[in-house]
Amino acid sequence: MAAKQAEQALVQQWRDILALHARTQCELDRALHEHGLCGSDFEVLDILAGAVRGCSYRVQEIAERVHLSQSALSRLIARLEREGLAERGTCAEDRRGVRVTLTAKGRALHGEVLPVQRAVLTRMLTRP
């Protein structure tokens, strides 16, 4: 009986985590939408903004840090590039690789929406 209760508690904890993630993601998407972004867009901008100015990340390095498929990440980066927020270039170490850099416009937008994203995280993830 105790083992069954422990298992049920574990399953409930997992479901609570999933529900919190879903609610937080919806809030992020809603708050960032007025800036033309969704949560995944911001995550990529945030990763790129963390690079030392002028440095870039390989697409594979970004993929390891976001929860998107390789094809979804490629589409997202293409959209950021079309909007002038990021630039793709050939990787000097491996000509088959692609590196992504934040543009000045992307850095400015990131700076503008960073407080919005952090406020949502604070509101959703800080327990009163």
**pLDDT score at 96:** 65
- CA–CA separation, 27 vs 98, rounded Å? 32
**pLDDT score at 2:** 84
Q: How would you write the pLDDT of the chain (128 residues) with one tens digit per residue?
A: 888 899 999 999 999 999 999 999 999 999 999 999 999 999 999 999 987 655 788 888 899 899 888 899 999 999 999 999 999 887 666 666 678 999 999 999 999 999 999 999 999 999 76
First-last CA distance in the chain: 33
Q: Strand pairing partners for 87?
A: 101
**pLDDT score at 38:** 95
- CA–CA separation, 52 vs 67, rounded Å? 23
